Amino acid sequence: MGQLMTATNHLPSPIGSFDAYLAIVNGFTRLDAEQEYALACRFRDQNDLDAAQQLILANLRHVPYIAKSYSGYGLPQPDLVQEGNVGLMKALKRFDPEQGVRLISFAVHWIRAEMHEFIIKNWRIVKIATTKAQRKVFFNLRKSKKQLGWMTESEARKIAADLDIDVDTLRQMEGRMERSDMAFDSSPDDSDQTHQFSPSTYLQDTNLEPSAQVEALEQEKMQLSGLSNALQQLDERSRDIIKQRWLSESKSTLHELADQYQVSAERIRQLENNAIKKLKNGLSNVYSVEL
């Protein structure tokens, strides 16, 4: 595929003047079945990239026609055509001329698959079709509906039966597809209420603001200073128990401290609880002074 992409990287691009592109691709020489078969055999058997290029050029005219069926999604036709051209090249890589079908008949699946992938990724910021059944509805609902607006119950049942899905899945996708997109930033003309609910307002991250960073740094300093002062108020044994139980990377167990101080594990637990209470009181006093 990489060699094929390299060999065809100077193909006309649909990005730019689309009308000019259509004129170019429609001007390429058509191939009859015998010519196409011979070129396909050369590419398959000899990896002849010149033959591959001739096959691609002769079939580019079909991709814009396929792209027209997806015009209802509001995406630029040149972008869809470009994705479809990638699908055409992928199809050629897998094409077997001995099957007795024309290249474009075989390639339609690959062309549509690339366009589908592009639409799913770009039609909305959030994917609206995640399961196979939902994707089926996504690409068939618009052409199945007889009118704009919400479907009637009888229309929903008929379309669901035609697509071989349940009505709930159909209704769920209808709601997603009919939902309008919201601009990330509110415009200057928007009301205060509209601005309040725009994503730029409620998705903003204030953690990196200078004032928030300074406040967090001062808070951390105060906590460390308070903890240090509170620890100094403990007796040496209690202070050592707290450090070994809570402040050391390799924390000691109650039984290890019991062996160290030649007391029971229950006594160590009592000393630990008393020390924690004194620390809490000491920290509370520090914060009340700071405030």
> How much is the pLDDT for 39?
95
> How much is the pLDDT for 97?
92
Query: pLDDT category, 189, cuts 50, 70, 90?
Result: low
> How much is the pLDDT for 146?
47
Return the closest-CA partner of residue 117 out of 169, 164, 72, 82.
82
Q: Judge whether residue 93 has pLDDT over 80.
A: yes
Two tokens, residue 50 = 């010149």
* Overall average pLDDT of the 153-158 stretch: 78
Q: Judge whether residue 178 has pLDDT over 80.
A: no
Range in 34-38, 122-126, 218-222 with the lowest mean pLDDT: 122-126
User: How far, in Å, CA of 58 to CA of 274, rounded?
Assistant: 86
Higher pLDDT, 290 or 279: 279
DSSP class per residue in 21-83: HHHHHHTSPP--HHHHHHHHHHHHHH--HHHHHHHHHHHTTHHHHHHGGGGGG---HHHHHHH
* Overall average pLDDT of the 73-86 stretch: 88
Q: Judge whether residue 7 has pLDDT over 60.
A: no
Helix or strand holding residue 287 (H, E): helix 265-290
pLDDT digits (tens, 9 = 90+) for 108-130: 999 998 988 888 777 654 455 55
pLDDT digits (tens, 9 = 90+) for 42-69: 999 999 999 999 999 999 999 999 998 8
Those residues whose C-beta lies under 8 Å from the C-beta of residue 290, and which sit 6 or more positions away, are 222, 226
User: How far, in Å, CA of 233 to CA of 119, rounded?
Assistant: 66
Range in 16-20, 216-220, 238-242, 257-261 with the lowest mean pLDDT: 216-220
Higher pLDDT, 123 or 266: 266
* Overall average pLDDT of the 228-238 stretch: 85
pLDDT digits (tens, 9 = 90+) for 158-167: 877 777 777 7
Mean pLDDT of the chain: 77
> How much is the pLDDT for 216?
72
Q: Is the entire prediction scored with pTM above 0.85? A: no
> How much is the pLDDT for 158?
80
Q: Judge whether residue 265 has pLDDT over 60.
A: yes
